[in-house]
Structure 1
Amino acid sequence: MILTKSASLVHQAEQTRTTRLTESLSHSILGKSIGFDSAMTDLLLTYSPWAGALKEANDHITVRPEEIEAAADAYEEAAQHLVANLKWPDHTINILVQGSASTQTLIRSPNGNEKFDIDAVCQVDISRVTARDPVGFFQSVGDALRELEAEAKKRCWTIPCSKQKFYIEFTPSVPLDNVPPNTLDAMAPKYRVAEQYRATALAVVDTPSEMWKTSNPAGMTKWVDDTARRQLIRQVVLDSVILAKSAAHVDQVPDQKVEITDTLRIAIRLFKRHRDMCVRRNILTNEFAPISIIIVTLLTRCYEGLADLGRTYVHPVELLADLTSLMPHLVLKLDGQYRVDNPTVEGENFAEKWNTDGGARYRSFSAWCRVLNTDLKAILEETEKQAITNRVREVFGIPAPTSGGSGLSSKVVAAPPATPAGRGLA
């Protein structure tokens, strides 16, 4: 049988890891002398305290809907500045969210006063004449955003949004097909768009080289979205009886059910939060901590590989545990070089800096994975509901209630609703 790239990576990872974190829990229930259906019911109930605590942690770190709405307004303001200052027809400008905002994996910082970043691309359907001058194009966008105090970075302009809890990384781009053929041929040959994502490919300006570079944030979002929709849980809809019994294990928290179709996104959010907590606790440094795109890529690749191999799970906690133990083994090392490949742009290596820092970033990634594995194992080894909740609070930096009642925080933040079309956020 010919395996897909993701399936092959996961198959190798399965051979490398030492044990599954939930193996003892599964065996203790399924090994009983009871019917299979009863065993499944017991297993679902067994997992419910962990599921409830982790779901509440996810709710706490979710960015508030009003902040998402404010970010959408900021996108519109930036677009208006471009239209007014560049005199381009408004139908030629499209502000697109990218990164965590587009994959619905934005999280709040452990430090409530610290801003979170929202990545956006300014896709401009401009003439081929303008596309011949990438540096001039990049600068013209920055000039148009001067009133917003935009600051130039390597491939983007940072808009500070001084009165908001976020800032915007604003990347000027043009559709890849707008770049003249001779310019396209001169672009770095190792960065070629994957054909299945060709329709959404962009060219962004790499200011150090003063050249266009292939990028595909919409393709990356589609890959994550398509993968997240693949079903790895055997029971897609849990019986109402199971849900009712599960809810009884957690007090006063709405919506106890872990959304099965969001298992990948919940994993991304929790893992990013865990990384941030490791930085806060001086286990990692900001400089060398794993960047979000690497975490997203490895988790999505792992999830995709499990789906390609036909792996199934009884409960999302089982899947979350497997993602934890398998993820470290999906980093490639070819010819002495670490690789985490962009699935939408062939040749782009998200771990490129890992090969120029004396191994510091890889060691940091490995240390984080070990702590993540140890922390999740410690959570799963707890047996009492309150002990599980307390451990989850400790690991993910969730404050205890400040008033009466129980739960992970005094205010449970619901996941943000889908943003209306045309507002720039998904």
Structure 2
Amino acid sequence: MTFRTLSDTQKRHLAGLLEMACQELELTKTQFEDAQSKYDAVGRWLDDADHLILADSRIFSQGSIRLGTTVKPLERDEYDVDLVCHLLSGHASMGAAYLKKIIGDRLKANGHYQSILEEKQRCWRLNYAGQFHMDITPSVSNPRCANGGLLVPNKDLNQSMKPSNPEGYTLWFEERAEMTPYVMAPGSMGIRADVEPLPEQVPIKGLLKRIVQICKRHRDLMFKDDDTGKAPISVIITTLAAHSYEAVIRSVRRLADIDMVYEVIAGMKLHIQSQEAATGIFYYIPNPTTDGENFAEKWNTKRERAAAFYQWHEAVLRDVEELGRIAGLDSLIEHLKEKIIGPEAGRVLTKVTDRMSAARNAGILLASPSMGVGIAHGDPVRPNNFYGS
């Protein structure tokens, strides 16, 4: 076990630091409400169209903002807000270009949206400068999907459609996120005033979602200077983490949260399917909620992407494991800043230092609940309303 030399208190403290760090990666309440307001406005504008196909539509979110795994972009990049416009009366025979044009024409009819509109290969993007960009992807029902999936434009072929199922994927991911790990019984909950206290009680999002956030931010740091597009995409990280999390949970091992973080990340590569083909290894990471969507399809034409994933996976394992070898809060925070979380980790140091100072000044015993990343204590997280309902 990677962290076997650490005491229960040390493990709880490490998990607590990661929890606090992940909270620093979240959208602020103001950012969330601003995105929600703009999302609602776009939805109303599309829904009020006279076009028969567009008038019979529904819009909802997909991706990290719906899954609760959003991380702040590094430096000055903008948040992604990914939306799907489900054209209920549309069908694939109309062609992806036509379905996309219906949405684009409606957006162009609004002077404000026209001024910030950008056409992408398979969607329309509204650029809210300095805040976020909102991608709106057209979709139609997929009659061949038993799970109620959709067809969306294929990125490389303008007229073709490919399977997807964003709502089904969300349900699949949430089912795994709600699985409760067997957590090792903690040691004494009392902490002397001269011992670094656990971070104070704050809302807990859940272990799987925090692991995904950790992995995504580590990837962003590792590939921040790489403009080749080979960084592992978020849906691959999210899918493999969810598969691995379920496997670790079902192994019925009693693990502390920090051990769970490592074990889940370590197991991610075990859920990549591959086989030898004439052109080399064929990689397959299927969408678990619909047939015909391979999240790793680009790995089979751009081999450097597969290599980049394995390089990243080795690095994130090494950097998480290193947390168990570092002594001292300052050194831990520095490692988080450089390798795992980024500059936001500095704010964690400030918060912990302030709490330590207050505890020492009071000279009292602190009795705090375990602040493990995935333990189900604390206030409920603000609900995500990007559901189109």
Q: If the length of structure 1 is used for normalisation, what is the TM-score?
A: 0.74
Task: After superposition, give the CA deviation of every residue in 1:358-413 in whole Å (9 maximum; x if it has no partner).
Answer: x2111111111121112112111113344323322332213565899544999xxx
Q: Which amino acid aligns with 1:320?
A: V
| C-alpha displacement of 1:158 | 1.3
**Maintained 8 Å contact 1:63/1:416:** no
**Secondary structure, aligned partner of 2:71:** coil
Alignment of 1:291-302 (within 5 A): 291-302=233-244
2:78 corresponds, among 97, 115, 121, to 115
Q: Which amino acid aligns with 1:45?
A: T
| C-alpha displacement of 1:286 | 5.0
**Maintained 8 Å contact 1:75/1:95:** no
* Alignment partner of 1:21 is 2:2: yes
Q: Which amino acid aligns with 2:247?
A: G
CA separation of 1:169/1:59 partners in 2, compared to 1, >3 Å: closer, same or farther?
same
Provide the residue aligned with 1:340 in structure 2. 285
| C-alpha displacement of 1:232 | 1.8
Alignment identity in percent?
Answer: 23
**Maintained 8 Å contact 2:70/2:213:** yes
CA separation of 1:116/1:354 partners in 2, compared to 1, >3 Å: closer, same or farther?
same
CA separation of 1:132/1:315 partners in 2, compared to 1, >3 Å: closer, same or farther?
same
1:305 corresponds, among 247, 267, 270, to 247
**Maintained 8 Å contact 2:96/2:158:** no
| C-alpha displacement of 1:252 | 8.7
Task: After superposition, give the CA deviation of every residue in 1:16-75 in whole Å (9 maximum; x if it has no partner).
Answer: xxxx423x337xxxxxxxxxxxxxxxx431302211211121011111122111111122
Alignment of 1:278-357 (within 5 A): 278-280=222-224, 282=225, 284-285=226-227, 287-308=229-250, 310-335=251-276, 336-357=281-302
Alignment of 1:16-55 (within 5 A): 20-22=1-3, 24-25=4-5, 43-55=7-19
**Maintained 8 Å contact 1:331/1:339:** yes
Instruction: State how far apart, in whole Å, the 2-side matches of 1:248 and 1:131 are.
Output: 70
| C-alpha displacement of 1:227 | 0.5
**Maintained 8 Å contact 2:272/2:284:** yes
Q: Which amino acid aligns with 1:392?
A: L
CA separation of 1:244/1:262 partners in 2, compared to 1, >3 Å: closer, same or farther?
farther
Instruction: State how far apart, in whole Å, the 2-side matches of 1:233 and 1:150 are.
Output: 48
CA separation of 1:233/1:252 partners in 2, compared to 1, >3 Å: closer, same or farther?
closer
| C-alpha displacement of 1:352 | 0.8
CA separation of 1:138/1:256 partners in 2, compared to 1, >3 Å: closer, same or farther?
closer
Give RMSD over aligned pairs: 3.3
Instruction: State how far apart, in whole Å, the 1-side matches of 2:47 and 2:41 are.
Output: 10
CA separation of 1:363/1:93 partners in 2, compared to 1, >3 Å: closer, same or farther?
same
Provide the residue aligned with 2:367 in structure 1. none
> Could you list the runs of 5+ residues in structure 2 that have no partner in the other structure?
356-378
CA separation of 1:285/1:319 partners in 2, compared to 1, >3 Å: closer, same or farther?
farther
* Alignment partner of 1:202 is 2:150: yes
> Could you list the runs of 5+ residues in structure 1 that have no partner in the other structure?
1-19, 27-42, 178-191
